[in-house]
Structure 1
């Protein structure tokens, strides 16, 4: 019982020690677990860092086994990392190539044996498209004992692409620089380069040739300048100014190039931080062309001012740069429109105010449509009818520089002429178709051009034969079938040929089979064609035969009339003379005293015999005059006394009619004529004047001379005659319409007077108006 406390103490102590040991063990186990967790986390973090790192480790053991992350398999285009190094070639365009694996294997073995590191770069198959850099060294024994090799694989695909691009760009830059240097050297214009000190550093061969130097080195060494000092400023000073401004300077000046003065355009171009480049362009020919162009433009505009067609030019800004005088007149423009650079729209507005454009409902819209002429690719043409019946032809010609040439032609007269021409053509066609003659026009080559409706009927051919404008040979062949003698068609052929080719007029006559006779004539026309006229002369030929027979009959009748007049002159006058003589004897009382009534009868017989004798003489003289048998016994006598005697014979009648007669003229004027016949003619006219003048009237006889002619004017203020009555009076007696009798018209006085005066080689002109009197003018040579 005494040992139990001690035992319990011992047991308690043992339990305490066991508990303490258990706690220590537990605490140690817990620490190890935490360190293990931390190690795992560290390993995972390091593994993740390796996975995310720019390089992938590849461990190659001595027996050829490899260890690497799966990312390496993706880089080289494999599904997973193989077990041995030689299996990195996947085939079919995947993995590394055999040559790359052999090179890598040799490098790895050399490193394993000699511990010498290596570097290499490979381009993986197109399946991955990677460019890899490999850096190999002997692995640390802590990493892998036994002589393993550790290869770090880097992906430098982007760097490689950039490096490749830079290399290509550098190669292109070198090529471009070489080409540029060659271009500058071969350039036909002088080019140079100045350094920052404005001294020449480089010149091309054109510069050397321009300054007449031996080489470019000599130019640079002697600083030979192409451009001379202008206005106190040297070429270097101008280049320095361009460098200060950092802007190019361009100027035009004269310089000596290859011992000749030329106009050049010099440009100094600053290169940032490099210097000044310069070049000179020879513009001598351009300036000469510009001068020639200005002279040509002035000559052209001067010529356009002389045209009758209006011409105006507008620039790309739609501003008027030129307008000739006809253009001003056509659109009624004021003189200053060109100097004021009037726009196209303003020009149309001015023309609208002056009524020189067509009437349009919406003028702004219409003007905008015309403005589109500037954008057209082809010329545009319009017709403008104006309110004053003027017709304008407008042509808009776009220019390559965006401008426009506007041409305005007044075609009013041309349209009027065209209308007149159309009317004339229609009139000609209507005239041709309604002529009695048959017409046809032949061209010089022989084909039928024009014909009227009577042409096919005249020849008896079908009108459809002419529709195709046949040749003359074909037409003549169709005509020959209707001729009485087909061979006679050659006459027609010769007439057509003479009119078209020989340009001569000719004619002929031909007979048709139906008995008709045609006359045809070929006439050359001014346009080179020939016209054939055909006339049916069958009736006229028959009438000609009848006229010949009638003419023979008339000749026989004329001979009979001549004999009749010769006999009647005696046969009429002898009995009348006897009757008159016996009446006078009875009146004188030779046969004894007559009673007063018998005496009156005898006097009446004498008066009637005198009138009958006068009428018979008038009839005979008129008949002889018409037959050309009137005898004239001309003599020269003074005219005024001659007329005085005629007036004295009518003095009693004038006095009885209470008329006034005024006779005036030169007393010395004379005339050569038959006094008897001229007296009868003037007596007839005076008798008509006395008979036609009422009481209290006035008769005037005036003798005058005009040039080499003698004029006798007999005028009165009597009743006068109308034109119809005067025409009947001039006809007097004429043959009846049946030719078998005499038709009396008015009287024998005026016709007899005219016949007598015309027999003297003179003329009789009678003017008369109703109730205004009559004037008879006798003109004698």
Structure 2
């Protein structure tokens, strides 16, 4: 209202300078205002006054002015109201903006935390918005572009994982929670979320407990990955690998283990608890393996029906144990074959008339033949002590058996240089006793050297006599059975004998004196055209060396003849070729070699056959014995008296047959040379008690008594417990077979020094003297209750394995006494150390 009055006063003031009509209007307005202020009476008085003052034209003008003033008043009032409304809206907007700025400041303060940084993508926009920062110690860059290059400041594995997760977040709205590691080994938590069409990725630097938890999670992931890699690696190996718990239960195995135990897969092998190693080996592993000294030993087991050998390594850890087995069956067979070959080679060398000695890599004597011992006249005890080669040379020199040398040390070093050489070394030794030796030293592939001493004394004497006789009478050599040809230094033939011409199939005209060696080579070519034959002879004969080398070897002609040739330098620069026909001896040697190989293969085939058949028989026999015992149990049903008798017969016969099969398998194992004794310290008193208890039923069946005569102070002995018990039981069973009913057999044990001696005696019919020689032969059964004839053979084999002796004293009608002597063995080094 105040503003309206002010507006009206302004309008009246504007009319004060107007013309007369304006002045009248001013009066009129003033009157109107008074009328308005004074009520109806005032208005009536004003109208009357105005009517007196105004005329008709003045009335029109006044009306127009009144309309203008009214419109102006109405506009002023409307503008005042609009301005008031706009001011109210402005105050409300300013208040809303202030609140929004305050809220935005609080959010900005929250986002700008130094321990986190947020990346925001709006929809499918490729340009993100980055908010906040990470601590400098994390190595995260502050620049937006560098921060988005995750591979520059995160470790490769963490960067790749984070980029894949971000891609899945933006493409498929897949939320994620990751723990990544920076290049500075700092731990950062990465969270990805989608909200309101926007993708958020938050990087949070961890500390305190959350950091430790994240580090543990990373460590767990790394350990799981490492464990997976190792398990995959072990599964790809063709070596059986297994893991056991603390109680020895199989908890994991690789594929090779499952295949070895004939399971469909490793899981089935673990689930069914199939064992690769025998029970004795597992018990030995459990007893000997420790955290400091893992079990390492060669173990024999059966894989797919075949006896195999494994080098087993089993290590103990706090959670249990783990082991691996390396199949060495093939190398074991090769080792045994090499051992037999070396033994055969040694036996062959021992029968040679040429002295031979073999030294190992450390120059110690490992082999010598009888000719070597006779040549140097050395004590057997000295040779068996494996002396050093240098020591042997010093001893021979002290005994005046070696050539005298001005510089002994230099000569000795040259002689022993063969151990560092590659090629064969040859030397001539002129001994003080007049002998001349050709010493051939050849380095061995496995280390060491082989020394061959060829006695050239007789040959040198023969050459001397031959040269003397050549000067006197050329036809002396015509009566020699050896083919001889002598060539001059110019390579031309000086003389030859008929044997030479007959061997090479040439005529006397072709072997005329003066014929060049090349012509001789052409004449002999139909019989032998080898490049190492006459060409080599020509090179040796026509050589310009001051010392013409000698040579010898063997040639096999196309005619079938085998010649032993020798190229010998003579005086006056002449050279003699000698050819000896050794065809018959070579043929005999080849025939013997082929026969020996055939016998060896037959023996191996026999052993393989016996082992295979024995194993295939033992499995069904075990089933028969098991089912027979099962039929005896009351839970199956009640058997009639005859049925029970038949079942007893089946069980007894099966047990006897199983014993025979086991005996055959034991003998085959001994023959194959693969049986090894399980040596341990045995209490002899306990052993005798076990034998007596196990043999009680047999004594009752045989209606004989057993008397054991032994001192309580027998003590202990190192031997194979199982094999020693088998020896005693086999001897007692053999005695019980022949002892008359109602008699007794005696087992007497005593100690002879450290050895164990025992006898088994019976009062049976005895053994005839003609049969006594074959009593240890296999399948030799004597008497009506003799059995399969394997008992005494097994006794002899097991006693021999213990390095003992067994003898039999028997007379017809007076009984039999078997005496055994068992020396103590040595415990393995690992057991002795414990």
| TM-score interval, smaller chain | 0.3 to 0.5
Q: TM-score, normalised by structure 2?
A: 0.32
Structure showing greater Rg:
1
Per the normalisation by structure 1, the TM-score is: 0.34
